[in-house]
Structure 1
Amino acid sequence: MLTERQLLILEAIIRDYTNIGQPIGSKVLQQQLPIHVSSATIRNEMLALEKMGYLKKEHSSSGRIPSLKGYRYYIDNLVEPMKLDKKVRTDIRQAFGNELLKVDDLVQTSAKLLSDLTNYTAITLKPETATLRLEGFRLVPLGRQQVMAIMVTSDGSVQSQIFTIPARLSGEELEPVIRAINDRVIGLPLSQVPAQLQALTPFLTKYLQDPGNFLDVFGNILSKAVEDQVFVDGKLNLLDFTKSNDVQQIKALYSLLEERPLLGKLTATDANQDVSVRFGDDFAKSLSDYSIVSATYGDPHAGQGIIAILGPTNMPYSKMIGILGAFQQELTARLLNYYKNFEE
């Protein structure tokens, strides 16, 4: 259990190290602490914090920097979200514009705005697709036995795929197939569509020599519609904070942002917290100098997505958590507004 004085010293060191990026000494702290204490006493407390694992030395100087354990304690017990002034919140709202954006556009725009505002790498995940419904399906003849299958989902997304039909069939002859599919699956959650399509196989056999091929095409489009969509902006910002001069390691760091499974793990949130902070060292060696701050947005009706920033471990957490909270609220409001207008 840390004493009140130790808490003040740990918090001050984290704050100063965030601002200057250099080890913090006792004389600097003596001038800042809200309590009167000698430089020698501060040094003793710093040594105690170091022995407990909350601080560490970068070199032999008397200055200390926070350890990951120190950051973890600070984040879990001391940090409070910065209260953004009204102008910043207004700027965020205005940056999204007044146009009613589709979900994909809204999520992609949020990644760019968040990256621009923080100068870090921003990652946004589209709301989960468990609540998405199939709103429309049609086939459009293109000529030369080619047909485009088009699917529209309840978030306004449109997926399509071109395939070739047998020479004996025309686009018009596929109309009964389209009607049967629409009658059976329109309005259903996407998760229920595959089973309903399989139940249609005997009917489809009357019109299609190989209904399995047609269902494969439909399944491919469905897969694209339900696939988690990840948007990343400010990739190059990640390189601003690397301490490595190894070109291969830098390339590996940059390529991490193309690994979708890893991005999903990086941005996972704690169900018990509005905003989660995780250290990159838990995921990859090349991320040892980075932290990930993430939050969910949306609600059970509209689905929940994730918005996150990837930046240096010594980022100003109070400010970043405050900014992320503002984006969280704005995205949720806009997502709900979108669905409200879509259903009217």
Structure 2
Amino acid sequence: MLTERQKDILRLIIQHYTTTGHPVGSKKLLEDGIKSSSATIRNDMKALEEHGLLLKTHSSSGRVPSLMGYRYYVDHLLQPTKMAPDELSQIRQSFGSEVREINDIIEQAASILSELTSYTAFSLGPEVKEKKLTGFRMVPLNERQIVAIIVTDKGNAESKVFSIPASVSSEDLEKMTNIINEKLVGQPLLVVYHRLRTEIPMILHRYFQTPDGMMNLFDSMLGHVFEEKVFVSGRLNLLDFGISMNNDQLKSVYSFMKNTEELTTLLDTSEGVNVPISVRIGSEIGNNLLDDLSMITATYEVTGHGKGTIALLGPTSMPYSRMFSLIDAFRGELASQLGSYYRFLDG
């Protein structure tokens, strides 16, 4: 159990260190308003060190926070700084008005958040389960290639080029388009996904001589609709976080940040405490490549359209009070931007 003075000392040391990067000694704490003698402050600092909350540096008598110290601070001492009106206005104005679909806004969010913080930022749109399939077309490019165009009611349009097996005729493609429009358009994507695994294979067996090949093509065309898109911005900012990585570690981190499935898992905090903003420090992130970093993850909700996620990955010495406030304001503005766009779609 920490005394109130020890809590104040820990809070001031973390606030100073995350701002300047310099160890903090008793003299600085006296200047910052701790009303005790230097000897008493040093004793409290030693006690905090024994609790595992501070570390003593070799170069001076000052102390720096430990990972456990940051954790205690975030859980018990963090007081979000108040965002200035001009900062809020900057966030609002950063979102461009020229957007073609929802993913443009989601991608833009990661870019803006990274630029505002100089950290690595992630953004994930509202949940796939809320979407419906509203349109499907196939446009021939040449004898053996088509473009499949898939549209959902949440403003997303997906297009992908496919090579057609020699055994598939133009009549087969027309039948497939009719099946998708008759059986799947207008249905929620989770229903579409389920029917692709159950009802559709039986229908294909009825209509086609080589149903397995058609099923693979069918699955390829619609399967990528169910992928969660995680947008990442500021990957190279990792090099500025002051952590030492060899070339192999850097390659592993960079490869990890291009893996959608792993990133989706990283951003999923559903098994943790149900709070809108969570802070994970070091090993709590759940990936040993990121053990020297901290991650702030925030959810946002667009009424009637599900929840999305934004996150910041930065050094453990990030200024938590400011970053907490920034991401809180940002998630509110992102929800507002998406809400306005959905209302525009609904006409």
* 1:76-105 superposed Cα distances (whole Å, 9 cap, x missing partner): 111122221111111111110223452211
C-alpha distance in 2, partners of 1:297/1:101? 21
Task: Name the CA distance, whole Å, in 1 between partners of 2:250 and 2:145.
Answer: 46
The range that moved more, 181-190 or 139-148, is 139-148
1:107 is matched by which residue type in structure 2? I
Map residues 275-294 of structure 1 onto 2, 5 A cutoff. 275-282=277-284, 283-294=286-297
Residue number in structure 2 paired with 1:240: 240
CA distance in 2, matches of 1:204, 1:262: 33
Q: Work out whether 1:333 is the aligned partner of 2:336.
A: yes
Using the TM superposition, give the Cα deviation of residue 295 of structure 1 relative to its aligned residue in structure 2, in angstroms: 0.3
Q: Which amino acid aligns with 1:3?
A: T
Residues 1:165 and 1:46: Cα distance change in structure 2 (over 3 Å): closer
1:63 equivalent to 2:62? Answer: yes
Most deviating of 106-115 and 53-62: 53-62
CA spacing shift, 1:225–1:100, aligned 2, 3 Å: same
Which residue of 2 is the match for residue 188 of structure 1? 187
Comparing 120-129 with 154-163, greater Cα deviation is found at: 154-163
Counterpart Cα distance in 2 of 1:287 and 1:195: 36
- Quote the residue 2:314 is aligned against: 311
Q: 1:41 to 1:206 in 2, by over 3 A?
A: closer
Q: Residues 276-332 of structure 1, C-alpha deviation per residue, up to 9 Å, x if partnerless?
A: 111133434543331111101224631222111111111111111111111101111
The secondary structure found in structure 2 opposite 1:258 is coil
Match in the other structure for 1:209? 209
Deviations 1:96-134 (A, max 9, x none): 022345221111111111111101111112322111111
Partners of 1:290 and 1:313 within 8 A in 2:
yes
In the alignment, the residues of structure 1 paired with residue 256 and residue 160 of structure 2 have an alpha-carbon distance, to the nearest angstrom, of: 29
8 Å contact kept, 1:242–1:289: no
The alpha-carbon distance between structure 1 residues 183 and 113, as it changes in their structure 2 partners (threshold 3 A), is same
**4+ aligned runs moved over 6 Å, structure 1:** none
2: CA distance, partners of 1:265 / 1:195: 22
Per the TM alignment, residue 151 of structure 1 is displaced from its structure 2 partner at its CA by 1.8
- Contact 2:303 2:339 (8 Å CA) reproduced: no
CA distance change for structure 1 residues 208 and 115 in 2, over 3 Å: closer, same or farther? Answer: same
Once the two structures are TM-superposed, the CA of residue 214 in structure 1 deviates from its matched residue by 2.2
Structure 1 SS opposite 2:264:
helix
Q: Report the number of matched residues.
A: 342
Larger mean Cα displacement after TM superposition, 58-67 or 126-135: 58-67
Match of 2:123 in 1: 124
- The SS at the match of 2:328 is helix
1:157 maps to which residue? 157
Tell me how far 1:226 sits from its aligned partner: 1.0
**What is the DSSP-based 3-state SS (H/G/I as helix, E as strand, rest coil) of the residue aligned with 1:138?**
strand
Alpha-carbon separation, structure 2, partners of 1:51 and 1:202? 67
Alignment-mate amino acid for residue 291 of structure 1: S
Q: Which amino acid aligns with 1:136?
A: G
Amino acid at match of 2:329: A
Question: Could you say which residue in structure 2 is the equivalent of 1:22?
Answer: 22
**Unaligned ranges ≥5, structure 2:** none
In structure 2, relative to structure 1, the CA distance for the partners of 1:168 and 1:47 (3 Å cut) is: closer
Contact 1:148 1:163 in 2 (8 A): no
Match of 1:272 in 2: 274
Following TM superposition, by how much is the alpha carbon of 1:165 offset from its aligned partner in structure 2, in angstroms?
5.9
Separation (CA, whole Å) in 1 of partners of 2:140 and 2:236:
44
Give me the whole-angstrom Cα distance separating, in 1, the residues matched to 2:14 and 2:106: 32
The one-letter code matched in structure 1 to 2:243 is: K
- Structure 1 counterpart of 2:140, which letter? P
Q: Percent identity?
A: 43
Q: Aligned equivalents of 2:251 and 2:145: distance in 1? A: 42
Q: Which is worse superposed, 239-248 or 105-114? A: 239-248
- Residue 242 of structure 1 aligns to a residue whose secondary structure is coil
* Matched letter for residue 303 of structure 1: G
Question: Which residue of 1 is the match for residue 223 of structure 2?
Answer: 223
The answer to whether the 8 Å contact 1:101/1:338 transfers is no
Offset of 1:206 from its aligned partner? 5.5
Deviates more, 1:145-154 or 1:221-230: 145-154
Q: Distance between the aligned counterparts of 2:143 and 2:273, measured in 1?
A: 53
